[in-house]
Each structure stands twice: as C-alpha cells, then as structure tokens.
Amino acid sequence: MIIGITGSFGSGKTTVANMFRRYGFKVIDVDKLYHNDFYKNHPLRNKIEKEFGTLSRSKLKKIVFSDYSKLRKLNKITHPTIIKKMKEKIQKIIKNANKEKRIIKKQLKNKIIIKQNNKNKIQKNNSNKKNIDNVKIIVDIPLLFEARLEKLFDRIIVVKADKKAQKKRLSR
C-alpha cells in the first residue's frame, strides 16, 4: 500500500508521516529528496541558475512565491527529476520487501511441526510469519495534486492546520 500525505507548508505532513513510521511504514520525504538532489545534481542546479540567476534558496523563495508563473517554471524544471527519484525510491522499497519476503518464505519452508488433531499430521509452521505481503509506504509530498500524481497512490491523506498554527510552525 502506498499512501501519499499532502498539505500546505507547516500543516504537519512530516509529523503525520512520522506517526506512520512508528507502525512500520517506510517513509519517503519528497522535500528531502529535492534538497539532496538540489545540492548534488549539477544539471538541475544549472537549469535553475540559468532561469532565475541564483542558487540561493532564500532568493529563490522570494522570486517564485511573489510570481506564480515563476513558481510554475521552477516546478517544471524540478518536478521531473524529483518525481523520478521518488518513483525509484518506491521501487527500491518494494524490491527490498520482495527480497525479504522470499527469504522468510524460504526459512518457513524448512520449518515443519507435527500437530495433533485426532490424527498426527505434518503441517508447515506459519506462526513466525510476518505480515510481508503488504508493503507499507508513506510519501510525504507537498505538491501531490499540483503535480497530478494522485494515480500513484492507493490512498491520499490531506493534512490541514489553521493559518495561525502554520505561521507559528514556519517561524521556528
């Protein structure tokens, strides 16, 4: 199951994602993917600097949040790379879960016990079986709807907070 968590800045998306993490969900933070990629991906950095004349995040924020067309340009530059990274991360989690599932199935195949129900019969022991059939992934993604990524997720959670709480969180 892949769940997208979205909401505006300071709404509490990361807090909600971390609640799911405590229950065994793998969490992908798209903002972190972007920030890591921003510092490592020279083609992305070059495109941003060429378009906006700066790589300073504080200057970029002022530019794009004061002009919606410039925000759309920034998203057009960054979204393909970030979406690709997010999909790769999801696939890696699924691949690792499938690998773990194969290992556990192999271990269980070798464990056999005898149960008595009127007759002695040999049965596989499934008592140690983990819930491995259901990969659980949370994607913390601010612009899920704006990027039109709804179809990637089995469920979507929208986190909301009042403006006063958002401002307080953003000022920390």
pLDDT tens for 148-169 read: 999 999 999 999 988 887 777 7
As a whole number of angstroms, the distance between CA 10 and CA 29 comes to 14
Backbone angles phi, psi at 159, to 5 degrees: -95, 130
Contacts 24+ apart (CB under 8 A), 90-95: 90/2, 90/28, 90/137, 90/139, 90/152, 93/26, 93/28, 93/135, 93/137, 94/135, 94/137
The pLDDT of residue 34: 84
The pLDDT of residue 107: 67
Question: Which 3 state secondary structure label does DSSP give 172?
Answer: coil
Tell which residue, 65, 70, 78, has the closest CA to residue 35.
78
Helix (H) or strand (E) holding 158: strand 155-158
2-170: CATH topology: Rossmann fold (3.40.50)
Q: What share of the chain has pLDDT > 70, as a percent?
A: 81
The pLDDT of residue 111: 56
The pLDDT of residue 153: 94
The pLDDT of residue 97: 84
Q: Mean pLDDT for the chain? A: 82
* 42-76 confidence digits (pLDDT tens): 788 889 999 999 988 889 988 988 899 998 999 89
The pLDDT of residue 101: 76
The pLDDT of residue 29: 95
Q: Which two tokens stand for residue 65?
A: 């949040």
Lowest mean pLDDT among 78-82, 106-110, 131-135: 131-135
Check if the beta carbon of residue 90 is closer than 8 Å to that of residue 27. no
As a whole number of angstroms, the distance between CA 8 and CA 104 comes to 40
